[in-house]
């Protein structure tokens, strides 16, 4: 297969790329509050059968001087190098359903060429759907259900979604550009931005990872065990509760967030009720039609005059 020089297929894959209708994009480097992306990716690779089918040439994609990798100096020699990588895995869920996982460091350079290369991969493997998930920091308390912002190339893919944002300008990422460009190429793309309490943005928030995984499995219909992820989230929740309890000022801040969150939900509920009531009211055209029908019926019932 002729393809972009930005990636290299493994020898057996180059002979015959194996069909996989879904691509899960998990590129590190941009925002991931609560380590949602990282927890999901680690769980997938820890629990499901997988193998490398392609890898990207990081010399073409990384600006080493702006993001210097780590090296290990041991006593009197250089012993190790934390080499940047961006790898494509073929994964099998517990039902034997194959999907692709693109995981590794975000490219610094050549984003458009990178997007074209990923599109070539999608064509080679028969990918029809692209999905990603990550965490974003929000002014929400950890004691309330985890919320998320869903987005897709086609609104029908996230039917029933209730947007929390209007139009906003945000910094770009290679992952978000993939959503845009692959959607423009006709693929179905879907994403989950999980709302993580801002005070937990730099640490792992297990409940957010569980919520993201549940939503992800619902979107993709993949099957995988989640018991370990749920158990780890329970331990994490207990640790957060202990830490908040040990810091009264943090507890007060969380209580204030709970108050604001509950007020927001009540406002949303009232707007929903008002919208339903407004939808049940007859329109001006309907009222006019009813009035005209009333006049016709009244005229028919009036006795003729002499």
Determine the Cα–Cα distance for residues 258 and 270; give it in Å rounded to an integer: 18
The more confident residue out of 177 and 304 is 177
User: pLDDT (tens digit, 9 = 90+) per residue, 182-236?
Assistant: 999 999 999 999 999 999 999 999 999 999 999 999 999 999 999 999 999 999 9
At 306, is the pLDDT very low, low, confident or very high (cuts 50, 70, 90)?
very low
Query: Residues near 60 by Cβ (< 8 Å), separated by ≥ 6?
Result: 5, 6, 109, 110
Residue 270's pLDDT is what? 66
CB 279: neighbour CB atoms within 10 A? 8
Examine the pLDDT at 303 and tell me if it is beyond 80.
Answer: no
Of 64-78, 85-99, 123-137, 241-255, the least confident: 241-255
The more confident residue out of 171 and 17 is 171
Residues facing 194 on adjacent strands: 135, 148
Residue 62's pLDDT is what? 95
Residue 274's pLDDT is what? 52
Structure tokens given for 278:
């407004």
Residue 107's pLDDT is what? 97
CB 222: neighbour CB atoms within 10 A? 21
Query: Residues near 122 by Cβ (< 8 Å), separated by ≥ 6?
Result: 23, 130, 182, 185, 187
Structure tokens given for 137:
């920091």
Which of 103, 280, 272 lies closest to 174 in space, CA to CA? 103
CB 201: neighbour CB atoms within 10 A? 17
Determine the Cα–Cα distance for residues 66 and 79; give it in Å rounded to an integer: 23
pTM of the model: 0.83
The more confident residue out of 283 and 82 is 82
Mean pLDDT of 129-152: 94
Residue 299's pLDDT is what? 62
Of 91-105, 133-147, 148-162, 292-306, the least confident: 292-306
Structure tokens given for 150:
């869903």
User: pLDDT (tens digit, 9 = 90+) per residue, 27-85?
Assistant: 998 899 999 999 999 999 999 999 999 999 999 999 999 989 999 999 999 999 999 99
Q: Is 113 left (phi over 0), alpha (psi -120 to 50) or beta?
A: alpha
Q: 7-246: which CATH topology? A: Rossmann fold (3.40.50)
Residue 46's pLDDT is what? 96
Strands (E), 82-183: 86-92, 98-105, 129-138, 148-152
């Amino acid at each position: 297969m002729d393809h972009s020089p930005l990636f290299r297929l493994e020898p057996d894959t180059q002979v015959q790329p194996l069909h996989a209708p879904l691509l899960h994009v998990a590129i590190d480097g941009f925002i991931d509050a609560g380590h949602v992306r990282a927890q999901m990716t680690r769980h997938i690779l820890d629990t499901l059968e997988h193998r490398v089918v392609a890898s990207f040439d990081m010399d073409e994609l990384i600006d080493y001087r702006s993001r210097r990798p780590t090296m290990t100096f041991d006593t009197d020699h250089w012993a190790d190098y934390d080499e940047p990588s961006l790898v494509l895995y073929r994964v099998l869920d517990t039902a034997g359903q194959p999907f692709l996982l693109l995981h590794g460091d975000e490219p610094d350079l050549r984003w458009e060429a990178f997007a074209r290369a990923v599109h070539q991969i999608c064509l080679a493997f028969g990918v029809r759907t692209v999905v990603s998930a990550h965490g974003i920091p929000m002014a929400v308390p950890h004691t309330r259900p985890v919320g998320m912002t869903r987005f897709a190339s086609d609104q029908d893919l996230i039917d029933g979604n209730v947007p929390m944002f209007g139009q906003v300008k945000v910094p770009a990422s290679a992952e978000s550009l993939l959503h845009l460009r692959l959607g423009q190429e006709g693929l179905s793309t879907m994403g989950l931005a999980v709302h993580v309490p801002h005070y937990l943005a730099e640490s792992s928030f297990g409940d957010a990872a569980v919520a993201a995984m549940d939503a992800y499995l619902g979107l993709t219909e993949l099957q995988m065990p989640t018991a370990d992820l749920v158990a780890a989230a329970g331990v994490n929740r207990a640790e957060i509760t202990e830490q908040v309890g040990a810091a009264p000022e943090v507890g007060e801040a969380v209580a204030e967030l709970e108050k604001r969150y509950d007020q927001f939900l009540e406002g949303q509920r009232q707007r929903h009720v008002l919208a339903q009531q407004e939808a049940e009211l007859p329109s001006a055209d309907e009222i006019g039609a009813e009035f005209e029908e009333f006049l016709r019926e009244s005229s028919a019932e009036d006795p003729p005059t002499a």
